[in-house]
Structure 1
Amino acid sequence: MYQTLIPALRIHPRVLPQGEESLLAATEFDRARIVQAAPVRRLQQKTQVFPLDVKASVRSRLTHSLEVQETGRQISRQILGALPPDAVCPWSFINLVEMACLLHDVGNPPFGHFGEQVMGQWLGEQLDPLFAAAVGQGSEQWPLLRADLLGFDGNAQSLRLVHSLHELNLTLGQLAALCKYPEQLSHAGGLAQHHGWATKRGIFFSEQPLYAQLSLSLGLAPGCRHPLVYIMEAADDISYCIADLEDAVDRRILSQSELRRALARADEGDYMQALLHASRQAPEGFFPHFRQRLTDDLVALAAQTYLAEHDAILCGSYPHALLSGQAPAARVLETLKQVAREQVFMRPEVEALELEGYAALRGVLSTYSCLLALPEPQFERLLAGVGGAELFFARRLFHRLSARHLKAYRLAVAHPDTRFQRRTEQEWYYRMRLLLDYVSGMTDTYVLEEYRLLSGI
């Protein structure tokens, strides 16, 4: 089964002098391309918890992703130790899991999940009037396209980023291992089948043909996850739940004693009390002991669940996360999330940073939106470099767009796509994607600098 799910195949095969690419060589090539990719480097200036924080000890998205990568490796090693030796190439398995973990946040916009909310709010207010100005009346298909554009999500953007924008040409298994929520919008306007995980947007309409090709090649039924996604998801949950609270203490949002009291109040179970007591007495310090002990137990639990539910996970239909359930360590993980929500994310210090990000992100989107209000013939003039006097402002904004994103736009509109009922809707859909690609790819600091420039500050 793993031979089908983890093949040495790509959408665009590599031309190799020695002939067919081995699986290990294929995943090593993926690994090299991913580590060197610009979206991974940009994670060092994207927020984990505290936007625009310059303190080196506080985690960025990059340091968080490196921790997720290491946790994914630990889970994989435990799983591989229990599988038959000939079930799967162990180094390829580990390569795919580690790189899925490293890439899992690359599609997040500036200011993380808060940025997703800001973009969603702006789209809800501006999408319809901008479409009406540029296109006019929509076809019967427009509600489907509208719903797709309204639901900007970092998970779906990750697949678009690595394949459609940066053209990393990763193996099919590596691409599928990124798709945390594989349900898609159906042509009837609803969500396609899924198997129990949160119904977030997993695949944009623009990447549906790509995911259909992945699913067919890998034998994934509609709405079914690739098995390695479960490992990536568990590694992410383990890493961020502990790290967010550690960073809050480091940033002096909470004192260590306040945190211990909050954890003790929220979870009175024996496991939590023993963990807090042992960590308080540990010679290496509270957080190193707390983090290592809990991580070890959660890694073991994730591996045990993967192996116990192996058949359903291989089919992609297991309806839960690996760490769901009532195991003591899993309950502690939920407690950490609860305490972070109540004691960290709603603090004035954090919300003040988010308000700054809110103004910057909305300001940039609103300024660039004039490119979306143009009728297609006028936008084509910008593409051709012949904008007239009436486009004096739009032309200057157009020149700031990324060449990589413009290339993806040109390729998407070069030929009629039979999935679209109207050519004008195809063009405008990808023009909106162009803006969302550009803004979501900005780092926290860059979007603030862009806002200041556009505002004349």
Structure 2
Amino acid sequence: MEWNTLLSTQRMRGGANKKGKPVDLRSEFEKDYHRIIGSASFRRLQDKTQVFPLDKSDFIRTRLTHSLEVSSFGKSLGQNIGENILSNRKDPGFTLQMKEDICHILQCAGLIHDIGNPPFGHFGEDAIREWFTRHLPELDFFGTPVEELLTPQMREDFYHFEGNAQALRLVTKLHYLVDENGMNLTYALLNTIVKYPVASTGIDKTTGNIKDKKMGYYYADQNIFEEIVSSTGAGKNRHPLTYILEAADDLAYKTADIEDAFVKGFISYHDLEKELEGLQSSFTDLSFDALGKLRTLYERGKEKQADNPEAYAVKNWIVRVQGFLISCATSGFTSNYESIMAGTFKQDIFHGTFGEKLMDLLGDMAYRYVFSSTAIYKMEVTEAVILDFLMDKLVHAVLYYDTDAKMNSIDSRVVSFISENYKNAYKYQAEGKSEAEKLYLRLLLVTDYVCGMTDSYAKRLYQEMNGLV
């Protein structure tokens, strides 16, 4: 892969300066940034769960604040890695302008990497996926099982439903404002957010290659995916910037989950100290003395007569850890540069670095102390009830939408709830398609609508439809 094609500025719809208009001095990737932050989908992230749904605290992170952090880390990593490539002459074709471009692309990619996720965080993805696993085999359409009408890839799209694939779909198809081209973002940016460049039928967790773990695009969006990767030259490989985006995402959520869990009382200073003691004993080569740094900060907090020296220590420790992990990710990318550019690198860029075990510990702590706690389980049971109900009603309503069959009064009203924006996108995509493809697109219309919901809207709609308001 070569940077001159990987940084493709091509868009689905081209554009040109009109005669007499002032020249826009922004780069194509800077234009992407303004398209994103002005979108309704980006604004909705402020009311979508990161870890703690519908939390009353203004400290706890939402999808919006998480995305802003990923954007910031992504840009920082781009600066570090770009400078390393230049200063060490790793690639004679890499230029200073390319360094600037990858920083802008990663900044934008951080903003939209989670933009397709449904309400209620990653559990929302699980709930939708499990709904289809339970109910798709039971559905029939004019007397024929829906499973028989759909192709294998169509079926697997629902059984392996992914927020990652939904993000690509949303920004390329569902912003039906000017025309059918969505946000009309650059192909370099679109390729960067495709973490898994495989179809739902191509998932293979036995290969050991990180890119094959999940699907990256729906059957409905295969043409645009192929056009993107043809333009960038990435083909079936991960775009190199995807590794950096993934590292920024992992770094952001693993450190933030610990900080949020501390603030919410799930993890104490002494819990963190004890966990780091275990890390030190099992990994003596760690170049960053995580435990020593935590204890030093605690003593400093006491010296400064901080109201809560434990909070002072944990919050300042998180900042130090983030700086250390940025260095690790930079090293991970640059030391594997040739295999990443060749498309043969199979791991994430923390693999083999001094930060790998610390990252593993932070993720494991979040799971043990937070995600498997009774409090979170209770929230998730409530969320499952909401999403199951909405999926039941919406799927039943769209089955015969846009067919010759007469819809009952309830189904027609439920369909009316769906955004005209999404319905217009459906009608454009369904034009000239077979009945099976239209049925598939109507099921996607449901996931499009549900994924566009905020946590509050999903809860409110559930309550209104059940007469609880």
Structure 2 length-normalised TM: 0.87
Secondary structure in structure 2 of the residue aligned to 1:351? helix
Match of 1:237 among 250, 264, 267: 250
**1:369 to 2:369 alignment:** no
Specify the code of the residue in structure 2 equivalent to 1:73.
Answer: K
Residues 173 and 425 in structure 2, CA contact (< 8 A), matched pair in contact too: yes
Alignment-derived partner of residue 212 in structure 1: 226
**1:41 to 2:56 alignment:** no
| CA separation of 1:158 and 1:143: change in aligned 2, threshold 3 A | same
Q: Give, in angstroms, the shift of residue 375 of structure 1.
A: 7.3
Residues 45 and 443 in structure 1, CA contact (< 8 A), matched pair in contact too: yes
Residue identity over aligned pairs, in percent, reads 29
Secondary structure in structure 2 of the residue aligned to 1:55? coil
* TM alignment of 1:386-405, pairs within 5 A: 391-405=408-422
Q: Which has the higher contact order (CA 8 A, sep 6+)?
A: 1
Match of 1:298 among 306, 325, 342: 325
Q: Give, in angstroms, the shift of residue 183 of structure 1.
A: 1.4
Residues 261 and 267 in structure 2, CA contact (< 8 A), matched pair in contact too: yes
Alignment-derived partner of residue 453 in structure 1: 464
**1:178 to 2:193 alignment:** yes
Alignment-derived partner of residue 169 in structure 1: 184
**1:280 to 2:298 alignment:** yes
Residues 164 and 194 in structure 2, CA contact (< 8 A), matched pair in contact too: yes
Structure 1 length-normalised TM: 0.89
Q: Give, in angstroms, the shift of residue 138 of structure 1.
A: 5.7
**1:347 to 2:373 alignment:** yes
Q: Give, in angstroms, the shift of residue 141 of structure 1.
A: 5.9
Distance in 2 between the 1:335 and 1:12 partners?
45
**CA-to-aligned-CA distance 1:32-63 (integer Å, 9 cap, x gap):** 00111111111111111111112100111111
Match of 1:411 among 421, 425, 428: 428
Alignment-derived partner of residue 13 in structure 2: 12
**CA-to-aligned-CA distance 1:400-450 (integer Å, 9 cap, x gap):** 11111101110111123xxxxxx1210100000000100111111110001
Residues 134 and 374 in structure 1, CA contact (< 8 A), matched pair in contact too: no
Distance in 2 between the 1:116 and 1:226 partners?
24
Q: Give, in angstroms, the shift of residue 264 of structure 1.
A: 2.9
Distance in 2 between the 1:333 and 1:185 partners?
28
| CA separation of 1:294 and 1:69: change in aligned 2, threshold 3 A | same
Residues 254 and 359 in structure 2, CA contact (< 8 A), matched pair in contact too: yes
Secondary structure in structure 1 of the residue aligned to 2:57? coil
Residues 185 and 191 in structure 1, CA contact (< 8 A), matched pair in contact too: no
Distance in 2 between the 1:192 and 1:236 partners?
21
Distance in 2 between the 1:49 and 1:430 partners?
30
Distance in 1 between the 2:300 and 2:333 partners?
31
Residues 119 and 455 in structure 2, CA contact (< 8 A), matched pair in contact too: yes
Deviates more, 1:85-94 or 1:427-436: 85-94
| CA separation of 1:131 and 1:205: change in aligned 2, threshold 3 A | farther
Secondary structure in structure 1 of the residue aligned to 2:355? helix
Deviates more, 1:41-50 or 1:268-277: 268-277
Q: Give, in angstroms, the shift of residue 200 of structure 1.
A: 1.1
Residues 183 and 191 in structure 1, CA contact (< 8 A), matched pair in contact too: no
Deviates more, 1:150-159 or 1:122-131: 122-131
* TM alignment of 1:19-98, pairs within 5 A: 25-84=27-86, 86=95, 88-98=97-107
| CA separation of 1:332 and 1:128: change in aligned 2, threshold 3 A | same
Specify the code of the residue in structure 1 equivalent to 2:298.
Answer: R
Distance in 2 between the 1:195 and 1:391 partners?
49
Distance in 2 between the 1:88 and 1:424 partners?
48
Specify the code of the residue in structure 2 equivalent to 1:160.
Answer: R
Q: Give, in angstroms, the shift of residue 164 of structure 1.
A: 0.8
Match of 1:289 among 316, 336, 340: 316
Q: Give, in angstroms, the shift of residue 150 of structure 1.
A: 1.6
**CA-to-aligned-CA distance 1:327-348 (integer Å, 9 cap, x gap):** 3322111001111111111112
Secondary structure in structure 1 of the residue aligned to 2:183? coil
Residues 47 and 444 in structure 1, CA contact (< 8 A), matched pair in contact too: yes
Distance in 1 between the 2:467 and 2:41 partners?
28
* TM alignment of 1:332-343, pairs within 5 A: 332-343=358-369
Q: Give, in angstroms, the shift of residue 194 of structure 1.
A: 7.6
Alignment-derived partner of residue 384 in structure 2: 358
**CA-to-aligned-CA distance 1:250-274 (integer Å, 9 cap, x gap):** 1122322233223434653443433
Alignment length (residue pairs): 437
Alignment-derived partner of residue 203 in structure 1: 217
Secondary structure in structure 2 of the residue aligned to 1:48? coil
**1:247 to 2:264 alignment:** no
Alignment-derived partner of residue 384 in structure 1: none
Alignment-derived partner of residue 424 in structure 1: 435
Q: Which runs of 5+ in 2 are unaligned?
A: 87-93, 176-181, 305-311
Distance in 1 between the 2:399 and 2:111 partners?
37
Residues 130 and 373 in structure 1, CA contact (< 8 A), matched pair in contact too: no
Distance in 2 between the 1:307 and 1:22 partners?
34
Secondary structure in structure 2 of the residue aligned to 1:83? helix
**CA-to-aligned-CA distance 1:106-149 (integer Å, 9 cap, x gap):** 11111111111111111111112224457547658633321122
Q: Give, in angstroms, the shift of residue 90 of structure 1.
A: 2.7
Q: Give, in angstroms, the shift of residue 160 of structure 1.
A: 0.3
Distance in 2 between the 1:46 and 1:397 partners?
23
Secondary structure in structure 2 of the residue aligned to 1:168? coil
